[in-house]
Amino acid sequence: MASTEARVKSKPRSTVKDQEDVLKVLGVLKVATATQILHLVRPHLSDNKVMRNALLVLQAKGKVLSEGNTAGPAGRFGAPDRNGEPSQKLWSLTAAELDAAGSLLGRDAQEIGGRARGAGQGGAPHAMAVNATIVAFTRGGIGDITSWRTEVPHALAATGKQNVRADAVLRAKEAGLPLLMVEVDRATEPVQRLADKVASYAACYRRQVNNPATPGTWTVRRTGQEGSVPYWQTLYPDSGLPGWPPLAFVFTGAGPRALHNRIQELATLTREHWAADDRQFDDDDGYLDFTDKVPLVLTTLDRLQAHGPHGPAWRRVAQERGAEFEPLLTALTDTRTKAA
């Protein structure tokens, strides 16, 4: 006789390590899929079940929640998402877990930021593109999840009301990248908006503040001269960069021709911010001076995923560089300088 007892579904099991790694990733990315988490902390695995189990255990503990899926508000879980892939649940931390994630990452409340409340309800397409960019870097051998911060504000004035907010900031000095600002464009806004953001980065880099290490007089604070330092250096005091922090744009969300055109247009619109000054010696043997210029590199997400950051994925926007693609560190190396 068939048993009438209901079959009890076994509870998911997960190690403390897996759960802590999930909290770290969500503390940085704010919203992510189980597969993205897997790529960042268990890249040697192909099945995301270990991360799904960790998420389910954390959900039962009230530490994470799922507010939607990658197909968006009209999509059904498991149905094709915007990229034609089966949609996945989107996970984020509960408000109470922000501090716990910060402790695991060694970051204070300001560094950890707020939670992405409701982001999953709309499918979080921008966050998914940013996450995919971070995954491409880490899978390519640059940094790990602790090397990144997302949605990082950089004040343009002392009031803090105006700021330029980086989609992501990478700090991987061991990989030759002590500081890299990253912007991801999904072809959803005019290129002029991107150009305005490059201008905002330049304004942020030019901004001077009183050196916090040597408290200045009222005159110093008023004039911003003696005793002042670049504001960005107070945020990243150990970068060791000889010039302004580099800025990378990653383009996605359109076909190859459309993305190529966006790259070309952005380069044209932002020339005043990246073009080096042409200096001349007495013997007419000149050089390029990149002082107070934004080191700007551009790529597409498809190219970054195909070649990795160390491959021919990047175009440096600068004089005499052409349109060829280079490895990231090569692209960020200034050419025909006085030192060279």
pLDDT at 9: 64
For residues 94 and 205, what is the distance between their CA atoms, to the nearest angstrom?
34
- 74 shares a domain with 143: no
Contact by Cβ (8 Å): 307, 135: no
For residues 202 and 182, what is the distance between their CA atoms, to the nearest angstrom?
14
- 242 shares a domain with 322: yes
pLDDT at 2: 45
Amino acid in position 26: L
For residue 100, the enclosing domain spans 1-122
- 313 shares a domain with 223: yes
- 327 shares a domain with 244: yes
| Chosen domain end from 66, 98, 122 | 122
- 59 shares a domain with 19: yes
For residues 275 and 329, what is the distance between their CA atoms, to the nearest angstrom?
19
Read off the tokens for 30. Answer: 């704010």
- 142 shares a domain with 105: no
Q: Can you point out the beta strands (E) in the chain?
A: 31-32, 64-69, 89-93, 148-155, 163-172, 177-185, 208-210, 228-230, 247-251, 277-279, 287-289, 296-300, 315-316
**pTM (2 d.p.):** 0.89
Contact by Cβ (8 Å): 73, 53: no
CATH number at residue 45: 1.10.10
pLDDT at 312: 98
Q: What number of other Cβ atoms are within 10 A of residue 212's Cβ?
A: 10
Pairing mode of beta strands 163-172, 177-185: antiparallel
- 192 shares a domain with 267: yes
| Chosen domain end from 100, 122, 144 | 122
pLDDT at 80: 59
Task: With a cut of 70, list the residues of the chain below it in pLDDT.
Answer: 1-9, 73-84, 115-121, 215-226, 281-284, 338-340
pLDDT in tens, 43-58: 999 999 999 999 999 9
| Chosen domain end from 99, 122, 145 | 122
pLDDT at 1: 43
Backbone angles phi, psi at 250, to 5 degrees: -115, 120
- 290 shares a domain with 163: yes
- 103 shares a domain with 113: yes
Which residues face 155 on adjacent strands? 163
SS3 77: coil
Number of domains in the chain: 2
For residues 235 and 310, what is the distance between their CA atoms, to the nearest angstrom?
27
Contact by Cβ (8 Å): 93, 10: no
- 157 shares a domain with 207: yes
- 141 shares a domain with 88: no
- 159 shares a domain with 97: no
pLDDT at 116: 63
pLDDT at 220: 47
Q: What number of other Cβ atoms are within 10 A of residue 307's Cβ?
A: 17
